[in-house]
A and B are shown apart, each in its own frame.
Chain A
Amino acid sequence: MELKRVVVTGIGALTPLGNNVDDYWNGLINGVSGADLITLFDASKFKTRFACEVKNFQPTDFLDKKEARKIDRFSQIAIIASDQAMLDAKLDKDSINPDRAGVIFGSGIGGIMTFQNEVSDFARGDGTPRFNPFFIPKMILDIAAGQISMRHGLRGPNFAVVSACASSTNAIIDAFNYIRIGKSDIILTGGSESVICEAGVGGFNAMKALSERNDEYKTASRPYDKDRDGFVMGEGAGVLVLEELEHALARGANIYCEIAGGGATADAYHITAPHPEGLGAKNVMLAALDDAGMKPEDIDYINTHGTSTPLGDGAELKAILHVFGEQAYKLNISSTKSMTGHCLGAAGVIEAIACIKTIVHGIVPPTINHFNDDPELDSNLNFTFNKAQQRTVNAALSNTFGFGGHNAAVIVKKFVA
């Protein structure tokens, strides 16, 4: 079977750096930190009291008040990002064959805020089970995909993809494959996450996963720095319109780039710790290169998983050195999590968008907050520290890894007819 080519024709995003793609990109190339003190709940008793929140978001600006109440924040921002992506792709209900258009969408956790609040209400009561009928349909992780389909009338394949912090990369790869084998013409894909609540921050704090640098929160997310102490929680949503190439050309769509290939592997090692030699990470980059029919020297930029944890950052670099060899020193490498924080299940798509914009604009966003080299890491690599760098990027690879040992990588490349 001849595989179809798949291109990106629309993008939408709500991120800690801005609630649309332009603001997000401007934040990235200007090295802006999205971290601030937590406003979504009273974090005064928590070990970590800062995060990278989506700011100035009023759901009722976009959704009917009655509807907004029945939709968890993670789905609300997903819906708005999907509106942006559809508009950007110049698509609407009337211009598409709804049965050939689907939604494959990721999240790491789903509606944990809704779960927390409903169960807390129950626990405060006398045991009488008065659960809100919208509790389950608000919380379930797949509801974002369902909501997007209802919003835009998309009746093709529709499901959620879950692999913790690799979720939205896996979603993009699934969407890519559905179109590649001819099952759909258009798929809205990506992911969403919003877990900045007591249960979310408390849970990650208990794992010692989060930075506790409360006094210097703007510089707390510092991937590859000697003094990195954990990730900074982010939230956000990103949507890509993936489209079969001929379909996109026939309607004269603006093409941002082509999806070249993707890979998915497991560490099969530990629930949260990465394989110390980056085995799964190495294999996933090799798998993505193989899927794309590309060689290491074809890649110009890697947007790393680089969460700013002591163990994870080093393991990923070992994998990059293993896969790319001498070529690794010619790459630009950056972790945009230094600015956005770690958007968990949405990280993959938010960082894929960074890769796409890097190709379009020829600017590599930086790894900010670098103060001290880590002697354990190879300082000859170009980490794009602190300042964006001009560079023609023909192909970029985005890595994402999730608790459970999931690894996913996607490669995007300049579209050449």
Chain B
Amino acid sequence: MSDIATRVKKIIVDKLGVDEAEVTTEASFTNDLGADSLDTVELIMEFEKEFNISIPDEQAETITTVGQAVAYLEEHAK
């Protein structure tokens, strides 16, 4: 697992209060990990802080699974 994936997982476990084992690549924040709309906004914000980037809203809306988050951040993280 990449360093970015590890950091993403840690944020998700911390913010959503889920077990690490649940945070699979396919897991959807809302359908599988119990996030509501505000949780999702908070996750994006935490990714931005952790990786020191800004994720535009239209991009943020396409990030709905763990895998999508990791892929986006691997491409854009500085």
Contact = CB atoms under 8 A, between A and B. Distances in A.
* Secondary structure of the A contact surface, majority rule: loop
A133 B41 contact: yes
Interface residues of A, number: 9
**Dominant SS at the B interface?**
helix
B38 A128 contact: no
Interface string A122-138: 00000010101110010
Interface string A45-87: 0000000000000000000111000000000000000000000
A64 to B, nearest CB: 7
Interface residues of B, number: 11
Contacts, number: 19
Contact of A130 (B15, B16, B17, B48): B48
Contacts of B48: 130
19 contacts: A64-B17, A65-B17, A66-B15, A66-B16, A66-B17, A128-B54, A130-B45, A130-B48, A130-B49, A132-B42, A132-B45, A133-B38, A133-B39, A133-B41, A133-B42, A133-B45, A134-B38, A134-B42, A137-B38
A372 to B, nearest CB: 54
A133 B42 CA distance: 6
A152 B39 CA distance: 23
B33 to A, nearest CB: 11
Contacts of B41: 133
Given A133-B39, A133-B41, 7 more contacts: A64-B17, A66-B15, A66-B17, A133-B38, A134-B38, A134-B42, A137-B38
Contacts of B38: 133-134, 137
A133 B40 CA distance: 9
A400 to B, nearest CB: 35
Which 7 A-B pairs have CB atoms at the shortest separation, nearest pair first?
Answer: A66-B17, A133-B41, A133-B38, A133-B42, A65-B17, A130-B45, A132-B42
Contacts of B54: 128
B9 to A, nearest CB: 16
Contacts of A134: 38, 42
Nearest to A68: B17
- Among B15, B16, B17, B54, which residue has the most Cβ atoms of chain A within 10 A? B17
